[in-house]
Structure 1
Amino acid sequence: MRLTPLIHAVVSAKTESELRSQLLNKAGYCTGSQAWGLDLLDYQQKIMASDLQGLPVSFCDRYQAIGRDQDITSQQMLRQHVPVKLCSLSTQKHPSNGMDDLFRTYHIEHGVVAPILGSGQLLGGIYFLRHQGYPPFKTRDLLRISTLCQHLAVQFTTLRFNHQASANHAVLTDRELEIVDLVAQGFTNREISHYLHISVDGVKQRLKRLYRKVGVANQAALVAKVK
């Protein structure tokens, strides 16, 4: 399967839920993987959502029981923020651990974990797994996965920004929204005071409250976030 239809589905998604669904339905087929998944992080870098295709729930339960910190490939990706290949288990050099034994139990031989980076932070990671008897991931596979991650980063960042902006918009009063609209039109504080029949100091105080409520430091950021 070509990557283009998947990228089109990714950039067309209207919500994070839809984006995750499109990704899980199609991503593995683009890389010849028998199993694949996605982990999304919140703003505190904690896992907020984890999806998996191609492996039973028992795999997830055992993975969690062993502990993510025992997954050497994922830990390397988290530290370096670059795609990392799982060494073929039949040729690996490091001592076997519980995670390796788990992969063998479920016939996993090859894997790739890649970061989704946006706005200067790690948004999550996507991983692809191949069973025993299938070829290892090659450079072209990593390039395709990296391209996919770039589009995912842009779309996840856009959807989260829009969601936050909608939330901010929802909690503002009609008068606050009116002030934001006037600021967006280029009105000065004095012009806003005349328009709303309040003092200039009153405008300044309202703007300060708006900054705190929306989480910005100036008028340009206020307009960008609310509008």
Structure 2
Amino acid sequence: MPRSLYPLFQAIATAPTEQALRFRVMDSISEYFGVQRWGIYLLDENNGLASVDARGVSDTFVEQYQKFGKSVDPVLQYVLQYHAPAHEELVLPKGAWKQSELYKRCCSTYDHEHIMTGPIVGQGQLVGTVNFARIGHVPAFSQLDLASLGAVCTHLSARLAELRKQPWSTNPSVKCLTPREVQIADLVAKGLTNAEIGAELWITQNSVKQALKRMFRKLEVSARTEMVAKLRM
């Protein structure tokens, strides 16, 4: 009998922060899907890569995939189009995986025998993906795996959206900030340092610093406390 996903759903639903959500999913999800390599990729407002948390693969693979593989990834294209999980046998003709451009450019080097990707969505847009790979002589992903990943992605998307709810939504000053900047402002208001904000949002400390500079200019303030006070007016 397949292992129940209920404990994972509960862990996702009760995660108090994005960072805790990331840790809870990354630390346990491989056990449910029998994968040796897995990761969460999150996108920024411009649909670029905002952050990556991956296990079992190196930064070199992530860079190689972004540079050479992403544009020819048929599984990702399916996920982008339908906002539904997919694996290589669902989107390619039987036996075509190892002749695909994605396999030749990226996956062959890392022995990715089978891959599966699921969508993280928010406000009707793809905001990230959950990515799996099985290596060596192992079975392909099944319909049950697809359904299970779809369920996980539904819970993950809902919790991420809740954690990213915009505070101060009725304050006119908020309208000049991007959703990411609103998140940063919220964490500043909670007393987090730049390093802590970076860890929470899966971005670098320097990215937080540069974002704060832009936010100060937009809001016409010069300090964190002044910014929070203006947003709370």
Give the shorter-chain TM-score range. Answer: 0.5 to 0.7
Match of 1:212 among 152, 165, 172: 172
Which structure: larger Rg? 1
Unpaired stretches in structure 2, ≥5 consecutive residues: 176-231
Higher relative contact order, structure no. (Cα contacts within 8 Å, ≥ 6 residues apart)? 2
Give the superposition deviation at 1:42: 2.7
Q: Return the alpha-carbon distance in structure 2 between the equivalents of residues 125 and 137 of structure 1.
A: 17
For the aligned residue pairs, the C-alpha RMSD in angstroms reads 2.7
Q: Return the alpha-carbon distance in structure 1 between the equivalents of residues 35 and 130 of structure 2.
A: 12
Amino acid at match of 2:147: L
SS of match in other structure, 1:105: coil
Equivalent residues of 1:40, 1:124 under 8 A apart: yes
Corresponding residue for 2:15?
Answer: 13
Equivalent residues of 1:70, 1:99 under 8 A apart: no
Which residues in structure 2 correspond to 1:20-169 (within 5 Å)? 20-87=22-89, 91-92=95-96, 95-97=99-101, 99-161=103-165, 164-165=166-167, 168=168
Give the superposition deviation at 1:142: 0.8
- Give deviations 1:50-76, integer Å, cap 9, x for gaps: 111122333223223324212222122
Q: Return the alpha-carbon distance in structure 2 between the equivalents of residues 134 and 76 of structure 1.
A: 23
Corresponding residue for 1:173?
Answer: none
Q: Return the alpha-carbon distance in structure 2 between the equivalents of residues 16 and 39 of structure 1.
A: 13
Equivalent residues of 1:90, 1:109 under 8 A apart: no
Equivalent residues of 2:98, 2:104 under 8 A apart: no
Amino acid at match of 1:147: A
**Counterparts in 2 of 1:110 and 1:14: CA distance versus 1, 3 Å:** same
The total of aligned residue pairs comes to: 173
**Counterparts in 2 of 1:59 and 1:90: CA distance versus 1, 3 Å:** farther
**Counterparts in 2 of 1:117 and 1:98: CA distance versus 1, 3 Å:** closer
Q: Bigger shift: 46-55 or 63-72?
A: 63-72
**Counterparts in 2 of 1:43 and 1:96: CA distance versus 1, 3 Å:** closer
**Counterparts in 2 of 1:100 and 1:6: CA distance versus 1, 3 Å:** farther
TM score, norm. by length of structure 2: 0.65
Amino acid at match of 1:135: P
TM score, norm. by length of structure 1: 0.67
Q: Return the alpha-carbon distance in structure 1 between the equivalents of residues 53 and 152 of structure 2.
A: 17
SS of match in other structure, 2:130: strand
**Counterparts in 2 of 1:73 and 1:155: CA distance versus 1, 3 Å:** same
Q: Return the alpha-carbon distance in structure 1 between the equivalents of residues 34 and 102 of structure 2.
A: 26
